[in-house]
């Protein structure tokens, strides 16, 4: 089980920016326990934000799960170094290498 909310919470800013073609400085570092779709929303001025809250409508996200594969193509192990995800990937790699020996 991963420590963060989802696999997307491990994505580095550079990989997300490459896929979304926008500056995401205001959105990083990413909260570990938030859905990426809820975190990646354009800020709204006070009046529309109040109206959306009154209507119980959330602002539209600019990230979709379909982007995960594209973002993953920009990842390296250095991007995940020190995370629990990197530990899991290394363990899988070691087991796969041992299995190939037999």
Assign 3-class secondary structure to 23-47: CCHHHCCCCCCCCHHHHCECCCCHH
Tell me, what's the pLDDT at 49?
A: 59
Q: Which residues are CB-contacts of 83 (< 8 A; sequence separation ≥ 6)?
A: 3, 10
Give SS3 for 61: strand
Radius of gyration of the CA atoms of the chain, in A: 17
As beta bridge partners, residue 41 has 61
Band the pLDDT of 14: cuts 50, 70, 90: very high
pLDDT digits (tens, 9 = 90+) for 19-78: 999 999 999 999 989 999 989 988 766 666 566 667 777 778 999 999 999 999 999 999
pTM over 0.75: yes
Mean pLDDT of 5-26: 94
Tell me, what's the pLDDT at 42?
A: 82
């Amino acid at each position: 089980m991963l420590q963060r909310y989802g696999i997307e919470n491990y994505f580095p800013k550079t990989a997300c920016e490459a896929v979304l073609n926008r500056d995401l400085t205001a959105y990083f570092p990413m909260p570990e326990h938030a859905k990426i779709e809820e975190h990646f929303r354009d800020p709204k001025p006070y009046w529309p934000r109040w109206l959306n809250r009154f209507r119980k409508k959330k602002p539209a996200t600019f990230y979709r799960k379909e982007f995960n594969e594209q973002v993953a193509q920009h990842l390296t192990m250095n991007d995940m170094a020190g995370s629990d995800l990197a530990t899991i990937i290394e363990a899988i790699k070691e087991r796969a290498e041992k299995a190939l020996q037999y």
